[in-house]
C-alpha cells in the first residue's frame, strides 16, 4: 500500500482502488494519430513551438475522438517552470464553467534550456491526457497517480507507436516549416 493511501478518505480509497485496477486503455489508433506521433520527434527538433502545439493537439484530438470523450485544448509553452523541488512538465485543468479541459505542456527544460526529448515530451502529453480520461472515460471523481494510472499511460504510449517514433527522431524533420504544412502532413 502506498504510504499516502492511508491518509485518504474511504471514498477516495475506493477511487484510488478503481484507478489501480485499470491497467490499460484499449485504443485503435487512426492513421492521423500515427502520423502525428511519427512527425513529433522531428518537429520537436525544430523547436518550432506553434508546430509542436499543432501536432500535440492532433494527438489529443485523435485519442479523444477514438475513445469518444470530450475534446480538450492543448497549449505548448516555452520553458518549464521550476523551483527547488524540480520542473513542472505538464498540467491538466479539468473542464469548468462551460470551458473545455486544458492541457499545458512545456517544450524546453528549465536547467539547460534545451528542447525536451521526444519520449519525455510524448509521455508528459499522454500523462495529462490520462488525467482527462480518468474523468471522462473511466468516470472517476478524482485522478490519482496510482500504478494503474502509469500503466494506462504506458499502454497508450505503446499503442500509438511511441517506441517506433523514438527510434526515428528525424521522421518529421523533412516536413516544410509552418502550420499549414504540419496540418497537411497530419491529414
In this predicted structure, what is the pLDDT of residue 178? 44
Mean pLDDT by 10 residues, the chain (187 residues): 76 94 96 95 94 98 98 92 81 91 92 90 97 97 95 96 74 43 49
In this predicted structure, what is the pLDDT of residue 184? 45
In this predicted structure, what is the pLDDT of residue 169? 58
Q: pTM for this one?
A: 0.86
Place of cell 492543448: 74
In this predicted structure, what is the pLDDT of residue 177? 41
Asked whether 97 and 163 are in contact (CB, 8 A), the reply is no
How many whole angstroms separate alpha carbon 118 and alpha carbon 162? 9
In this predicted structure, what is the pLDDT of residue 157? 96
Amino acid at each position: 500500500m502506498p504510504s499516502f493511501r492511508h491518509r485518504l478518505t474511504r471514498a477516495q480509497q475506493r477511487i484510488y482502488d478503481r484507478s489501480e485496477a485499470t491497467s490499460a486503455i484499449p485504443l485503435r489508433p487512426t492513421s492521423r494519430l500515427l502520423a502525428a506521433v511519427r512527425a513529433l520527434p522531428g518537429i520537436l527538433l525544430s523547436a518550432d513551438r506553434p508546430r509542436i502545439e499543432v501536432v500535440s493537439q492532433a494527438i489529443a484530438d485523435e485519442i479523444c475522438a477514438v475513445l469518444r470523450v470530450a475534446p480538450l485544448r492543448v497549449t505548448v509553452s516555452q520553458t518549464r517552470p521550476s523551483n527547488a523541488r524540480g520542473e513542472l512538465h505538464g498540467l491538466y485543468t479539468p473542464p469548468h464553467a462551460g470551458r473545455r479541459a486544458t492541457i499545458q505542456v512545456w517544450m524546453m527544460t528549465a536547467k539547460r534550456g534545451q528542447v525536451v526529448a521526444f519520449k519525455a515530451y510524448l509521455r508528459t502529453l499522454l500523462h495529462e491526457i490520462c488525467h482527462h480520461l480518468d474523468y471522462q472515460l473511466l468516470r472517476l471523481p478524482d485522478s490519482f497517480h496510482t500504478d494503474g494510472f502509469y500503466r494506462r499511460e504506458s499502454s497508450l504510449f505503446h499503442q500509438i507507436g511511441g517506441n517506433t517514433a523514438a527510434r526515428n527522431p528525424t521522421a518529421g524533420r523533412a516536413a516544410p516549416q509552418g502550420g499549414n504544412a504540419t496540418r497537411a502532413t497530419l491529414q
